[in-house]
Every structure is written in structure tokens, then in C-alpha cells.
Amino acid sequence: MKRWTAELTNLQFALLLAVPVLLFLVLVVAYPLGYAVWMSLHRIGFFGGYRATFVGLENYRAVLLSPDFWDAMLVTVLFTVKSVVLTVAIGLGLALALVRSFPFRDLVRAIVILPWSVSLYGTGIIFLNASQGQTGLASALSYAFGFDRPVNFINEAWVIEVLAVANAWNLAPLVAVFLIANISTIPRRLYDLASIDRLSALERFLYVTLPPIRFTLFVFTTIATVLSMKLLDLIFVLSRGGPGTSSTTLTFLIYKESFQNLDLGYGAAMSFYLLAAILGSTFLLYFVWGRREVA
């Protein structure tokens, strides 16, 4: 006679853990994604009553023929590249500085991580007040040093750099924390051997520190790329896509088309091009960098 026990098999236990998560993902991801696909295939109007007219791939075609889309894509690429380079470079620099022993190191580490705890909305307010013209911190410093002109960085020439610096200021401390943890696992004897071989500081970094942290750098480069490409709140607060369209990224253009112009079908179609760009960038980073590190 078969004996029944209360003990679960490995498969049953795995299903018990996985099924609730899968149901949750279906609710919060699959349904909105499916609804976005539906919207992208329709022309949705609100004036004179709600109506949705099936247009097939017309919205996707209209996006590709729009100069605004390609301008926003270029701005997105420029902002993402600058933001990611600054984020990884600042995070790595902070990690290399804070991994050393010095007085009050723990306090300094706690202060350095604080920018990451600030919301992107708060970050936008901080950098807006620091960068804008008449009332900005830069103008106040200019007047304090005897200059008679305001300094305004929210202009077509500098707004992308201001946004990139603000984004890096917010995200780089998180990169630094993980790199510090990674560097701390490197055996001390490797640095002792490097000293015996009289390696310079640059050589110690290239041959001792860098190899163990390359995959961590790859991971955070990918994370920073994804977060930068889909960034909206910082841009909305700091520049609102301006001056003109100089900081109108693809995400901001989607917001403008969907919620200001109320062209939901067109905005949904554009969002899938953004999704394709994010996935393409992620796979490109993986094939160029990630596979080599895993191997």
C-alpha cells in the first residue's frame, strides 16, 4: 500500500514558490504589455467620445517617418552614453578611494552613499537650482567672484551634460558600494606580490584590481544603460525636454505624445521602439563584453 506523506518533492516545492511569482508577473507585466500592444494597433480618440479604430501597423510606420522620433533617438543615445560613462567612472573612482583605510572611513562611506537615497525628482530639483540662470547656485557664485553675468547651464549647449551629471550623481554611489564589496574580496597577497614586483599604481589596477571587478563593471554598465534610456522624472523636473527639443529623449517624447497630445496608439507604438532599443543595447553589451567575462 502506497504511503502518503506531507513532505513535498523538489518539483512541488519549486512550483509552490514559482507559481505565485508567475501569477504576479502576469498581472503586473503581461496584462499592461498586452494592452500596450493593443493600443499600438489602434488610433484612439477622446474628442467627441472615446473610440478606438484598428489601423494595424500604421502607428509604427508613422513613428519611423517622424523626424521628431529620430531627433529624440539621437538625444537618447547622447544622453545615455554620457550618463553611463560618468556613472561608471565616478563609481569606480569612489570605490578605489574608499576601499583604502583612513580615519572616519565608515562615516565618509555613509555620506557618499547619501545621493543614491535621494529620489530622481529631488535630484532634479537640486540640479535645477544649481544650474539655472538668475536664481541658480552657479549664478550666485559668479556674482560672488565679481562677475556681472548670470550662469545658465540649462541651455541647448549644456543641458544634456547637466542631465548626465545629475543622473550620475544619483546612481554612481550605488555602483561604488558594490565595487567596494567586490574589491574587498581580492586577496591581499596579490597586492603584496605586486609590490614585490614593483608594479606601478596603474599596473596594480590593470593586472590585480581590474580582472576580478570586470564583470561587476559590466553588470552596472548594463543597469546604468537601461535606467538612462528609460529615464523620465529627472528630465521632466530639470529641463522638461528643453530648451526647445535639446533634451527631449525618446521617453520624454513618448510621455508628450501619450499624455499631452493624447495620441495613445502612437505613443504606445513608439514605446516598443524604445523597448527594442533597450533590448538591443543590452544584448550588444552582453555579446561585446558579458560573454567574455562569463567565459
Higher pLDDT, 54 or 131: 54
C-alpha cell at position 117: 537615497
pLDDT in tens, 161-190: 999 999 999 999 999 999 999 999 999 898
Pseudo-torsion of CA 53, 59, 65, 69, nearest 10°? 130
pLDDT in tens, 139-166: 777 777 777 777 788 888 899 999 999 9
C-alpha cell at position 245: 527639443
**pLDDT value, residue 223:** 94
Residue 136: other Cβ atoms inside 10 A: 20
pLDDT (average), residues 248-277: 94
Domains recognised in the chain with CATH numbers: 57-294 (1.10.3720.10)
Whether 1 shows a pLDDT value over 60: the answer reads no
- Of the ranges 27-36, 44-53, 85-94, which one carries the lowest mean pLDDT score? 44-53
**pLDDT value, residue 17:** 82
In DSSP terms, 45 is beta-bridged to: 51
Residue 118: other Cβ atoms inside 10 A: 15
Whole-model pTM above 0.85?
A: yes
Match 528630465 to its residue by C-alpha cell: 235
Match 489601423 to its residue by C-alpha cell: 55
Runs of H (alpha helix) within 10-154: 10-25, 31-40, 58-64, 67-98, 105-117, 120-131, 137-144
